[in-house]
Amino acid sequence: MKRIIISLAVILTAMTINAKTPVIGISGFTNSGVCSANMTYIKSVRQAGGVPLVIPVTSDDAQIEAVVNAVDGLIMTGGEDFDPLKWYGEEPLRALGEVVPERDEFDVKLVRAAVAKGIPVLGICRGEQLLAVAFGGSLWQDIPSQVGESFVKHRQGSTTSSYGTHSISIDKGSFLEKVTGSAKATVNSFHHQAVKDVPKGLKVIARSADGIVEGVERSGRLEGYADGGALIIGTQFHPECLVAGGDPYYLGIFKLLVEESSK
């Protein structure tokens, strides 16, 4: 009897140790000598039950490897435009915005390392675009000048980021349909670029009324890249702003990431 009790105690202790709160890395950006990430990402991770960890920009492979070994999940955040010439072989258009080469390299190295290790990844806005850029896809450099029939306002300007301004259609059975419980949703919008060519291994699961990609997820293995097979999801909109603004509707996205990262 004593042996049974001792064995149960050992098992329960092991379960307690293994059931740690997952650490969710959040890709940072640099500005005027400061490396940071918006508090909206941090608040959303905390509300979902994870521990947020902001990752400073670096091109050092050893540093990136150390970071990947220290986190359980990863959020790739919004920000500047990607260099189209370097990353998907297109000449830059006049409407191309600010490009930060150091961040481009950091983001691509970081997300590739995370995917290779089997760490769950959530890409938001630029982060969703990164999923295309880093794994063989491409972007619309500028929606207004390149997508002629586009009629949805994809930059809501000074309207508060916690308010949705246009609708999206969501595929049945996708992660977005599961976490929202709906085939349609209202989202915020702060971009002029978007995913154009989707890499093999990812699929589009949400679009705006004018056809712009608003959500992607894994459909198979990423061809030509090391792939650990973990969760890969992306949104063009900013669910963290909506969650941090008091709307729990999209909190399920972050709960999904935290849940997958705790496995």
Read off the pLDDT of residues 121-152 as tens digits, 9 standing for 90 and up: 999 999 999 999 999 999 999 999 999 766 89
The Cα–Cα gap between 87 and 90 comes to 8
Residue 4: is its pLDDT beyond 50?
A: no
Q: 176: alpha, beta or left, given left = phi > 0 and alpha = psi -120 to 50?
A: alpha
- Beta carbons within 10 angstroms of residue 80's beta carbon: 14
Confidence of residue 58 (pLDDT cuts 50, 70, 90): very high
The Cα–Cα gap between 255 and 189 comes to 22
Task: Report, as an integer, the average pLDDT of 16-45.
Answer: 89
- In this predicted structure, what is the pLDDT of residue 30? 92
Confidence of residue 12 (pLDDT cuts 50, 70, 90): very low
Q: Which of 196, 218, 225, 94 is nearest to 138 (CA)?
A: 196
- In this predicted structure, what is the pLDDT of residue 10? 36
Q: Give residue 145's identity as a one-letter amino acid code.
A: S
Task: Report, as an integer, the average pLDDT of 82-89.
Answer: 98
Q: Which residue has the higher pLDDT, 19 or 197?
A: 197
Domain ranges of the chain: 20-261
Q: Strand (E) positions, 88-243?
A: 121-124, 138-140, 166-170, 184-187, 194-197, 202-208, 213-218, 232-235
Q: Give the three-class secondary structure for 33.
A: coil
79's enclosing H/E stretch is: none
CATH architecture of the domain covering 20-261: 3-Layer(aba) Sandwich (3.40)
Six-digit token string for 24: 């969710």
Residue 254: is its pLDDT beyond 90?
A: yes
Confidence of residue 213 (pLDDT cuts 50, 70, 90): very high
Six-digit token string for 69: 């070994």
Confidence of residue 19 (pLDDT cuts 50, 70, 90): low
Q: Which of 215, 208, 255 is nearest to 235 (CA)?
A: 215
Q: How high is the mean pLDDT of the chain?
A: 93
Task: Report, as an integer, the average pLDDT of 114-124.
Answer: 98
Among 10-19, 66-75, 145-154, name the one with the lowest average pLDDT: 10-19
Six-digit token string for 179: 């976490």
Q: Residue 201 in contact with residue 221, Cβ under 8 Å?
A: yes
- In this predicted structure, what is the pLDDT of residue 20? 86
| Helices 61-70 and 101-117, packing angle to 10 deg | 50
- In this predicted structure, what is the pLDDT of residue 148? 74
For residue 245, the cross-strand partners are none
Q: Which residue has the tokens 């940071």?
A: 36
Q: Which strands, in side-by-side order, build the sheet including 51-55?
A: 51-55, 23-27, 73-76, 121-124, 232-235, 213-218, 202-208, 166-170, 184-187
Confidence of residue 1 (pLDDT cuts 50, 70, 90): very low
Task: Report, as an integer, the average pLDDT of 84-88.
Answer: 98
Residue 16: is its pLDDT beyond 70?
A: no
Q: Which residue has the tokens 């994870």?
A: 50
Six-digit token string for 167: 């609708």
- CA triple 226-230-235, angle to 5 deg: 105
Rounded to the nearest 5°, which phi and psi values hold at 236? -80, -30
Q: How far is CA 27 from CA 69, 106, 134, 253, in A?
A: 15, 9, 15, 17
Per-residue model confidence as pLDDT tens digits over 164-181 = 999 999 999 999 999 999
Q: Give the three-class secondary structure for 246.
A: coil
